[in-house]
Amino acid sequence: MNVLVVTSEPVSAQQIREAVGFQAESREMQVMVVAPALHESPVKFWLSDADDAIDRAQAVRAETVESLSDAGVPAASDTGEGDPADAIEDTLRTFPADQVLVFVHGENDARYREDVDAAELQSRFELPVVVKELS
């Protein structure tokens, strides 16, 4: 199973397995982690102040891949566009996902453009999409 994971915070293999309901051996799951360069606020977005967002995205993807590797889950990663839907679209050009898993902050902690709609993404990409709130 190929799982495209979109997250703005580091996540573990256990969080991914629970979110997709995947109980098979770790080696049967291939994961592509994309950390979108989400801005803290619309002001930073509109001022094109992306340095902090990109740095944060790079740290998130590296930490997540390390955690997955330690759990025996094959994973690759990349940073993505500041819009999660655009990041998904870009990644699907090179990674044949069977499912998309998007981790988001709760309503009070959400970053700019982090509010994604699973049904909209599922319709757009014609793939199962699960949106899980980060805890």
pTM (2 d.p.): 0.85
Domain chopping of the chain, boundaries: 2-133
Digitized pLDDT (tens) for each residue of the chain, 135 residues in all: 899 999 988 999 889 988 887 655 555 788 999 998 876 655 555 556 677 778 888 999 999 999 999 988 899 999 888 888 999 999 999 999 999 999 986 666 655 555 778 899 999 999 999 999 887
Q: Alpha-carbon dihedral of residues 114, 20, 90, 27, nearest 10 degrees? A: 140
Report, at the CATH architecture level, how domain 2-133 is classified.
3-Layer(aba) Sandwich (3.40)
Q: Is 106 helix (H, G, I), strand (E, B) or coil?
A: coil
What are the φ and ψ backbone dihedral angles of 45, each rounded to 5 degrees?
A: -65, -50
Query: For tokens 């955690």, what's the residue?
Result: 67
